[in-house]
Structure 1
């Protein structure tokens, strides 16, 4: 859906996504939120659909000297997405990429373990899984999360996000069975521009959503 829809906060966005998922007749078995920003939305969706909430974690692989510029991303199990265009435009060689992949995969594993509090990851065999984030720009971490879930026995993988640029949404559609996105504005400078309240979610706050 095109447009410049705004959301009051992440919970509001999650509630609207839950409505859209019901309208699309998505029969979810579990919601997996991308920490940290995806967890307030994930909690709202899981509560509305009356299904469990868990996490799926990936970490960005930043370019040499510019950690905010993603040359890829890696999930907690090592599943990796490579941004080939960014790799070509930076000083990233294969040795650098693989070293950062190992480092960030370990960081992602630790983060997943911390959020689960020692619980095992959920069995997704035959399940319809809804993956939730608070929006995507380049979508690097979401792409790695989707690759990780493709390696499971999940029956269906649905990505649900409030907002993202049209080109990125079109690209991630190939990585999921279905994408539910409420707004795909052509004038896109960052996810936060579509929220009235886009304050940072701390680890402590984020974990409370999982514990509920």
Structure 2
């Protein structure tokens, strides 16, 4: 487990603990959540490992953000509780499409850029942002651009890109989500926030275009 992954996992756990301090919690379940969190950090598993352990301890099922929410509801005994720092997944009615990616991405407009960041409560970098967007839809992609740019299927050119596609530029130093009509959304640089802008990626500086889920909308 890398340092970035460890920090991200600790932030998620801290967010959960913060939420739980405001709710009455059964002592046995408190022990279960602590064991799940500790076990995940020790064994080096990903967020899915933590969620799975939590779900198992609390008698819920599945992995991902939706399962984490389900587990929190089980822990507090209150449905509809929202875990701080974890956005509710976008309802897709089935398999996610590029349109769902666009909708999920727009929820994070205004979140500050933080290098190495993966938590929308504190800030995200470009690949932390794209990973979070797909995670909200139940789609797991790697943490860093160099790995994300090898996921899904290649798109030949910017002219063929569709909303929801990943635009990788400058040799893998940056990644954004294409919105269509020449627009993109990304976490740009320190001092700025996640924003929609004219896609500054041009065919000349694009390294890769990747389609992770079925295309949505028009280019």
TM range (shorter): under 0.3
Please state which structure has a larger fraction of its residues in strand: 1
- The structure whose RCO (Cα within 8 Å, separation 6+) is larger is 1
So what's the TM-score if we normalise by structure 1? 0.26
Q: Which has the larger radius of gyration?
A: 2
